[in-house]
Amino acid sequence: MLNLWRHVLTRTYGDATGADLAAWLLSLSFHLALLVVLAAIGIYIPKSQVTLEATLVRTEPEELPREFIVSNTPDDAVGAQSFGGDAAAMAAAAELSDFTDIQPETPPQDVTPAELHEFLEVSHAPYLSDTLTLRGEAGMAVNGAMGAIDRITREVLLSLEQRPTLLVWLFDQSGSLDAIRQTIYDRFDRIYKELGIIEQSRAETVAAHRRPLLSAIVAFGQQVSFRTERPTDDVDKLKQALAGIDIDPSGVEMVFSAVISAAERYRRLRTSSPRRNLMFIIVSDEVGDDEARAEEAVTICRKLSIPVYVIGVPAPFGRQEALVKYVDPDPKYDQSVQWIPVRQGPESAMPERLKLAFSASPRAQELEQIDSGFGPFHLTRLCYATGGIYFILHPNKATPGRRVNRREVPVMSAQLYYFFDQERMRRYRPDYVSLFEYQRRLKANRARAALVEASAMSRISPLENPRRRFPKQDDASLKRLLDQAQQAAAKLEPKLESLYRILKSGEADRPKLRKPRWMAGFDLAMGRVLAAKVRTEGYNAMLAELKQGRPFKDAKNDTWVLVPADTIETDSRLDRMVRQARQYLEGVISQHPGTPWELLAKEELAQPLGWKWTETFTGVNAPRQRQPGNNNPLPRNDRRRMAPKEPQRPRRQIRL
């Protein structure tokens, strides 16, 4: 072959050139063949091949009910067979939670990874796994304690479908809960019968530790006491333990200590074989006096996957205390109504509402006591973080949008003058995070930090009934009256200026706020501070102007009258602040309808922000005439004065 190529190439190109080309072609052929052989060695051809095919089957998910029907009227059955039927028996954890309560939004680009999680949308359901902690309900309004009990019954049924369950009842020992404890006591037989446990667990063939539902009773006041020696399925023993709970006269409620103690006591049932689910039900009408242990309670319940349910009271909006209607239960004492301050709030980790009273508003006192739409922070966070539910219990909560008269408030209930639609308030849920995380979020946004810092300042009372009439007898007497009136404004101006500077420092970060709650809170605070600042400085400026001298338009008049107005006559700077305050407050009204923020913004705008002078005749310079007759006081009603009165229990002895 080589000779043939050589002969052909030699005849064509000559002896030397033909020989070289022949050698080159031979080398090329050899190396090409070698490459083919080496490539073939690396290819593995199996004897047989298996073809995998995946087919995506798309099914339409069954629509789950978002609303749960509860009733204050006892029904013949509870749980899955109660009012509302099977549709009402689904757990809240089986639906998209209020994690999706806000419209989808674009997360900011300048946040840290830890902040990004608050923008994620997740769904939750009961007991998906033993290690996954699920989100609960921040606040569910129910009509009466039995509405909450019916719903909890459904949650127990869902738990029993997975494995045997231990239900732990934790009862507050305060006297104000006597009625609720009695209601639950009367319902115990029906609850456990509906769960189908009584007959099933009576079977002698079933060992006690293997019976599907066991229960325990825990009481807490100043101390924590376990009223059942060991978990039992004997309803009579449970009722006996519940009936034996006495009232703790200390008035102290160690609720988080009770949760921690119960979790530690029954930990073995959750971690040892055969394992049980644990569920805690807390019945209390206060926030607890051991909030320092709240995070410890959250941690242990999350670690053991214990959902916590609370039957509790609503928190007043941005305030710690609510006034509870009290009538002494002992007939030997005065039976008149008293309003006792009780700590039931606030609804957020730190106050997010200014302590700024309304000036000249007939509803000023009422607006201090309004519903927040949520329960007290730490108890609600315990429910939310563990996959449970906080049930808001208040007899007047079923009437949102109208003023609640004091006569309508039942005894042992808090006076909250206004309630709000629960579904609307879901978008304004507080940040149910640890205090450490809450502080980190404040540092991440100056507008948040400014709102909380301003809200933490001591209460500021704006000009309440400032002097507005200034009769002029002569220039000296008028000046004395004006000087005295300016003193009140001079004391208030520095406090309002301090509030304004704090909020102003966060104004640049206001556009970065994403959650409706923080937006509404900052805008309302800025609008109200500007309004109070304008009224105070405008009042002072108008008095200063009058001191410079001002003639009456009508020579017969002798008195100057300062009346509220929509503008400021003396200072263009204040007039700009009037427009800015209106812009903030009107924005709250338009963007957050049907909320506490809207209610407060409307009340602020109902009072004019500026001042103007008017004049009138009062006859201050006319000579005084003695009135006929004597000035003796009217006779007293001796019969009423001498009527015997029932003794009144000293306030320090009242324990709710």
SS3 169: strand
Q: Are 567 and 575 in contact (CB under 8 A)?
A: yes
Confidence of residue 348 (pLDDT cuts 50, 70, 90): very high
Neighbouring CB atoms inside 10 A of 411's CB total 12
CA angle 53, 54, 57 (to 5 degrees): 140
Q: Give the residue-averaged pLDDT of 565-584.
A: 83
Predicted pLDDT at 418: 92
Higher per-residue pLDDT: 125 or 56 = 56
Pairing of strands 321-326, 308-312: unpaired
Provide the pLDDT confidence category of residue 455 given band limits of 50, 70 and 90: very high
Give per-residue pLDDT as tens, 462-503.
776 788 899 998 888 999 999 999 988 888 899 999 999 999
Q: Can you say whether residue 339 is alpha, beta or left, with left for phi > 0 and alpha for psi between -120 and 50 degrees?
A: beta
Q: What local confidence, expressed as pLDDT, does residue 649 receive?
A: 64
Mean pLDDT to the nearest integer, 289-307: 95
| pLDDT higher at 76 or 257 | 257
Q: Which of 610, 531, 523, 566 lies closest to 358 in space, CA to CA?
A: 531
Range with lowest mean pLDDT among 22-36, 180-194, 370-384, 639-653:
639-653
Residues 104-153 pLDDT 10s: 334 444 443 334 333 333 333 344 344 444 555 555 655 566 778 888 88
Residue 231 CA, distance from chain mean position = 34
pLDDT for 101 equals: 38
267 pLDDT tier (thresholds 50, 70, 90): very high
Percent of the chain past pLDDT 90, that is, above it, reads 39
Among 9, 31, 12, 30, smallest CA distance to 20 is for 9
232-270 in b/e burial notation, b at 16+ Cβ within 10 A?
bbbbeebbebbeebeebeebbbbbbbbbbbbbebbeebb
Cis before 593? omega within 30: no
Strand partners, 559: 471, 616
- Please report the pLDDT score of residue 370 as a whole number: 93
pLDDT value of position 433: 94
Q: What single-letter DSSP state applies at residue 556?
A: T
Q: Tell me the average pLDDT across 157-171.
A: 91
pLDDT confidence bin for 15, thresholds 50/70/90? low
Band (154; pLDDT cuts 50, 70, 90): confident
Has residue 243 got a pLDDT over 80? yes
pLDDT at 193: 79
Radius of gyration of the chain (CA): 38
More confident of the two residues 383 and 137: 383
pLDDT per residue over 597-618, tens digit each? 999 999 999 988 888 899 999 8
| pLDDT computed for residue 175 by the predictor | 81
Averaged pLDDT for residues 327-333: 81
Single-letter code of the amino acid located at 24: W
Any idea which of 202-216, 361-375, 475-489, 501-515 has the lowest mean pLDDT? 202-216
pLDDT at 218 over 90: yes
Cβ-count burial of 417 within 10 angstroms (0-12 exposed, 13-18 middle, 19+ buried)?
buried
The predicted structure's pLDDT at residue 24 = 64
- For the residues 499-517, what does the mean pLDDT come to? 96
Per-residue pLDDT at 362 exceeds 80? no
The SS3 assignment for 190 reads helix
Q: What is the pLDDT of residue 381?
A: 96
CB 241 within 8 A of CB 235: no
For residue 558, is pLDDT > 50? yes
Mean pLDDT value across the chain:
78
Q: Is the pLDDT of residue 339 over 80?
A: yes
Mean pLDDT on 35-40: 67
Return the closest-CA partner of residue 434 out of 340, 349, 327, 558: 349
| pLDDT higher than threshold 70 for residue 161 | yes
Q: What is the dihedral of CA 79, 85, 87, 90, to 10 degrees?
A: 0
Lowest mean pLDDT, pick from 86-95, 165-174, 307-316, 566-575: 86-95
pTM over 0.85? The answer is no
Whether residue 254 is predicted with pLDDT greater than 60 in this model: the reply is yes
Kindly report the three-state secondary structure assignment for every residue of 589-655.
HHHCCCCHHHHHHHHHHHCCCEEEEEEECCCCCCCCCCCCCCCCCCCCCHHHHHCCCCCCCCHHHCC
With a CB cutoff of 8 Å and minimum separation 6, the contacts of 447 are: 506, 507, 508, 509, 510, 512, 513, 518, 522
Of 89, 77, 274, the closest CA to residue 165 belongs to 274
Q: Are 541 and 574 in contact (CB under 8 A)?
A: yes
Q: Which CATH superfamily is domain 79-314+371-393 in?
A: von Willebrand factor, type A domain (3.40.50.410)
